[in-house]
Chain A
């Protein structure tokens, strides 16, 4: 275990020594303040649509739009767009070593292959956790700073009003859950990465799987209900569940458990593949 942790630390050094790792962080650092600044200047707009849908049963004074509401909407990037920053690293972490020929350096040291693959997986997980939390901190923090704080109005089967303190706790929970969701994406990219020596393949492969799965999940055909439980994107929306009242802990737990099974399967396949792989390059 000690060697795995040591190797994980070295993997993190490698990850954070490469400029591509910072593409995600830089994008977040640029986009989030720009979005928040634009909302502050020109308004949000979407809250009017939501209120209008409630007809004359609801009356409000002032603005519902604040940093928390925008952060809540920005969580939608976690579906399709944000995974790019995950697969950029996860898709390269195994394949990149194969392409660079550096496995020869590692595997001729007193470290087993299972330890190598485990440390890489752990490092991928840590990177994923860091960047998801970074997104959360930027969205919520900069949102409150630039647009302002206040109560969070969640438009979901009616209106749920959460106090700022309550909303912040739920955001923390939501982003931790989102990190686990993104870890499923990372595990899939990791698996593809273990099969090839080209980092582009895992990125394309992962996105292809996500795109096809989302189509199958979102198309309203009842026959597709049979396969949806086997698609991990079916459980992606779990990171919005903390914003329900009461928080559906049972559903969250069940979905996270299913995602964990996907992660375990993807990792298992990656490890089995790497253990049997001939390092010829």
Chain B
């Protein structure tokens, strides 16, 4: 077990930001840590990294309780917490040299190597002040992998990036896991991002764990699916299905319906549409992490 938390909790004033959180991350996983803004993701990560003190509960890295390993555990951990803040008046090279020294010493070759990985090699001697947000984000990942850690904790690494920047970071994360065998703990509220790169995930809401497991398994075991039905008259189709007890919800788009219903209901629903004279040109299973996530988060909110 690379990372484990046991009843990890943090209270700010009277509000529990994180309550009795139990997470388990195994070696080699890309673990997505999902939740809406304010759910407690950053607070959890800050506790794991020793930036804030848990009110109660414990956590362990590499099978050793944090209070035993102390800061030594961070020799095998790299982290990027929210937006990467560097010493703006120093160059990327100088920033990495300093951080490398604190991590036990990193040679010039390694600094060049990580800057190559994040595609910043040609800007190595520029002051960070002159970097774009995307470049700083990539430099943030560079500092996280600088000392060749086993576990990389990334907190919202794509915040503020444009679509191209998001794609680059996503590919970088996948590469770190696949090509460099790193375990990644990725906090995000961008579901598409997590769905594309993560093997496992946990969802928290209001500081509490809602679910955790393998992404594929969780989506497969869900009790309902979203089916997109492309139909000649979506408005009429909605009217047909509105009172159908098998249908939980319907979303209307330009030329299709998104029907939330159990998988086994799908043939009956289509039959019902056909019987009402509607012409169906496509039936597409659309269950996404987003649907799954929203159902869980809304449920936990009591909606």
Contacts and interface: CB of A to CB of B under 8 A. Distances in A.
Interface of A: 3, 6-7, 10, 13-14, 17-18, 100-112, 276, 278-280
Contact of A280 (B52, B71, B94, B103): B52
Interface in B81-120: 81-90, 94, 98-99, 101-104
- Which of A17, A106, A108, A110 lies at the interface centre, i.e. has the most chain B CB atoms within 10 A of its CB? A108
Chain B interface size, under 10 / 10 to 19 / 20 to 34 / 35 or more: 20 to 34
Given A107-B51, A110-B72, A279 B46 contact: yes
A18 B129 CA distance: 13
Contacts of A108: 49-51, 74, 77-79, 81
Interface of B: 46, 49-53, 70-75, 77-79, 81-90, 94, 98-99, 101-104, 143
19 contacts: A13-B98, A17-B90, A17-B94, A103-B51, A104-B49, A105-B99, A105-B143, A107-B50, A107-B51, A108-B50, A108-B77, A109-B71, A109-B99, A110-B102, A278-B52, A279-B51, A280-B46, A280-B51, A280-B52
Given A104-B82, A110-B74, A279-B46, 13 more contacts: A13-B94, A14-B87, A18-B89, A100-B88, A102-B87, A104-B81, A109-B102, A110-B71, A110-B72, A110-B102, A110-B104, A278-B51, A280-B51
Contacts of A280: 46, 51-52
Given A110-B74, A110-B75, A104 B85 contact: yes
Contacts of B103: 109-110
Contacts of B99: 105-106, 109
B102 A112 contact: no
Contacts of A279: 46, 51-52
Contact of B102 (A10, A101, A103): A10
Nearest to A99: B85
Contacts of A278: 46, 51-53
Contacts of B73: 110
B102 A6 contact: yes
A17 B87 contact: yes
Contacts of A101: 83, 85
Contact of A112 (B70, B77, B88, B90): B70
Nearest to A100: B85
A108 B73 CA distance: 10
Contacts of B101: 6, 10
A110 B75 CA distance: 6
Nearest to B75: A110
Nearest to B147: A109
A132 to B, nearest CB: 25
A109 B86 contact: no
Contact of A100 (B74, B87, B104): B87
Nearest to B53: A278
- Which of B46, B51, B74, B83 lies at the interface centre, i.e. has the most chain A CB atoms within 10 A of its CB? B51
Nearest to B50: A107
B187 to A, nearest CB: 14
Contacts of A10: 98, 101-102
Contacts of B98: 10, 13-14
Nearest to A19: B89
A112 B74 CA distance: 11
B86 A105 contact: yes
Contacts of B51: 103-104, 107-108, 278-280
A139 B74 CA distance: 48
Nearest to B77: A108
A5 to B, nearest CB: 11
A246 B160 CA distance: 68
Contacts of A14: 87, 90, 98
A17 B52 contact: no
B184 to A, nearest CB: 15
Contacts of B82: 104
B81 A17 contact: no
Contacts of B53: 276, 278
A34 to B, nearest CB: 30
